[in-house]
Amino acid sequence: MSMREESKKGKMTVAEAGRKGGEKTASTHGKEFYEEIGRKGGEKVSQERGPEFYSVIGSKGGFERAKQHEGSSEALGKTSLEEAGHRGGQRVRKLIQASKKNED
């Protein structure tokens, strides 16, 4: 074993430590823990920055994400964002119509 290998023995990178810590937390706390801390974090951001902040970052994120995938090999064979939006709108329309029929 070289000196370099000996000095690395027993050590791990920050990424490895983070991964191991995340796995341990996930195994001990479960899904509810992550839901709770996510909710608390969202509430804190909403208090500090206001609900408009989510609209701004949501539109920015959606636009940037669309630019990243449009025409990429990853996007081939997948539903375009425009098509997905149209399908979602059609689904909502059908749900509204069904709800109105049930009211009658």
The number of distinct structural domains making up the chain is: 1
| DSSP structural state of residue 56 | H
Cα 78 to Cα 27: distance, rounded to the nearest angstrom: 34
pTM of this prediction?
0.40
H or E element in which residue 12 lies? none
What value, to the nearest 5°, has the Cα angle with vertex 52 and ends 94 and 38? 80
Tell me the per-residue pLDDT of 29-61, one tens digit each, with 9 for 90 and over: 988 998 999 999 989 988 999 878 887 887 777
Tell me the per-residue pLDDT of 11-32, one tens digit each, with 9 for 90 and over: 899 999 999 998 998 899 988 9
Residue span of the structural domain in which 53 resides: 3-71+79-103
